[in-house]
Amino acid sequence: MYSAPYENDPVYQMAVKQLREAASILGLSEDVVEALSHPEKLVQVKITIRRDNGKIATFIGWRSQHNSALGPYKGGIRYTPNATAGETVALSMWMTWKNALAGLPYGGGKGAVRVNPKELSQRELEELSRKYFAAIAKEVGPDIDVPAPDVYTNPQIMAWYYDEYSKIVGYSAWGVVTAKPVELGGLQARVISTGYGVALTAREAARKALGGIEGKTVAVHGFGNVGMYAAKYLAKWGAIVVAISDSKGYIYDPKGLNIDEVIKVKEQTDSVVNYRGGDVKVSNNHMELLELPVDILVPAAIENVITQDNVSRVKAKIIAEGANGPTTPEADKILHNKGVIVIPDILANAGGVTMSWIEWAHNRMGCYLTDDEAIARLDEIMTRNFHKVFDEWQKKYSTYPMRMAAYAIAVDRVVKAMKLRGWI
């Protein structure tokens, strides 16, 4: 059996474990599981840049193209200090399932550069971004692989990628990346779309299990783009957001936080812990937020935060996974046995890539949508997908966590496409 260097990575192992569980539910054979366990292509690149102090700095980056049975690879690129090849492969596999589940005409891909972007100047960040994209330019393209932002990347970085690629191919290749700035064919609504989708799935789950979202208490772990807009829309739809964290700690007010104020404090001081008002309590241990007595928990930061170690203290009745991979498979089972609904990442956070598809499709037709039209489309697609997964779960897979229903639908679609194409 083939053994790849990324196989010891714990995030990769978690992704394969989830795949194996779905495969056993679907009755897939071992050879098919093996075929799905590895990316079609994994590229590693070296990027050297000139620092502002005159020294050369070297960075390693990857692009993992997991599966293209349903269409061009699609998925973000992250800039994080702990990025690894294994994590990138795992994330690309999750994109395959996420895109299939959302019914998008895409396979799954993901990229990463191992860097702490907070330590780079804007000029250094631009040089790194342009050189990374130039290094993977042969692997990407509007019909090949379409990147987008992920952790610590943003529309400005997409603009540099787009420009770099367009220079290489000699035309304005709008469709090569999504979540571009509005001036370059992006949609304003892309910025809110992942958080909006997370809030939407929590809203629908609350309607099913808690009699509605109004008045339900919410804790949001992580206040980047995803957590911020999830909090904003949940509050807008009548939930009470009582706790919010970032890497410096968390704030908690059982009577509810003023989200617009928290956003302002985050933007002005770089951390939510500087928020004051009401009866707010401040703590420097963000992990404690996961254990607060709330109805809905939104983990929107990083992988592996709800584990065997803390799951017994988690009190929420609904968990909407804004981050990719926040719950380990062991914790997922325990939560299921306690009757907690965990809306899996590949369903809950698909709003971003769904909006990416709306952008990409319009770029290729050379026309625009208004924001309201784009959000209405997103709402319709995600509401439909949520109910499809929820209903299948109740009907066919209710002895498993909801994640397995989502996986079963997604893996089945990919396997069918592979069979039709004659790959397996």
Q: Given the rule CB under 6 A, which residues bind ligand GLU?
A: 74-76, 98, 148, 150, 178, 324, 349, 352-353, 356
Is the CB of 275 or the CB of 360 nearer to ligand GLU?
Answer: 360
- Nearest approach in angstroms of CB 270 to ligand GLU is 22
3-state DSSP assignment of residue 399 = coil
Residues 347 and 324: their CA atoms lie apart, in Å, by 10
Element (H, E) at 355: helix 351-365
Residue number, nearest CB to ligand GLU: 76
Is the CB of 84 or the CB of 217 nearer to ligand GLU?
Answer: 84
- Nearest approach in angstroms of CB 24 to ligand GLU is 26
Active-site residue, selected from the candidate residues 74, 98, 110, 216:
110
Is the CB of 146 or the CB of 243 nearer to ligand GLU?
Answer: 146
Radius of gyration of the chain (CA): 21
Element (H, E) at 410: helix 402-420
Question: In Å, what is the CA distance from 177 to each residue of 200, 361, 370?
Answer: 25, 12, 19
Amino acid (1-letter code) at residue 50: R
- Nearest approach in angstroms of CB 304 to ligand GLU is 16
Is the CB of 357 or the CB of 397 nearer to ligand GLU?
Answer: 357
Is the CB of 299 or the CB of 352 nearer to ligand GLU?
Answer: 352
Residues 11 and 64: their CA atoms lie apart, in Å, by 14
149, 359 contact by CB (below 8 A)? no
Nearest alpha carbon to residue 218 among 275, 283, 290, 279: 290
Question: In Å, what is the CA distance from 135 to each residue of 109, 132, 278?
Answer: 16, 5, 51
Please provide the DSSP assignment of 63-119 as one string. EEEEE-TTSSEEEEEEEETT--HHHHHHHHHHHHHHHHHTT-S-EEEEEEEE--GGG
- Nearest approach in angstroms of CB 421 to ligand GLU is 22
Amino acid (1-letter code) at residue 116: N
107, 97 contact by CB (below 8 A)? no
Nearest alpha carbon to residue 321 among 291, 280, 349: 349
User: Strand (E) positions, 240-346?
Assistant: 240-246, 249-252, 281-283, 296-299, 318-320, 341-343
- Nearest approach in angstroms of CB 298 to ligand GLU is 15
- Nearest approach in angstroms of CB 359 to ligand GLU is 9
Is the CB of 40 or the CB of 295 nearer to ligand GLU?
Answer: 40
Tokens of 128: 């790194």
Is the CB of 45 or the CB of 347 nearer to ligand GLU?
Answer: 347
Residues 345 and 339: their CA atoms lie apart, in Å, by 18
- Nearest approach in angstroms of CB 274 to ligand GLU is 28
Q: Does the annotation count 110 as an active-site position? A: yes
Q: Which residues are catalytic?
A: 110
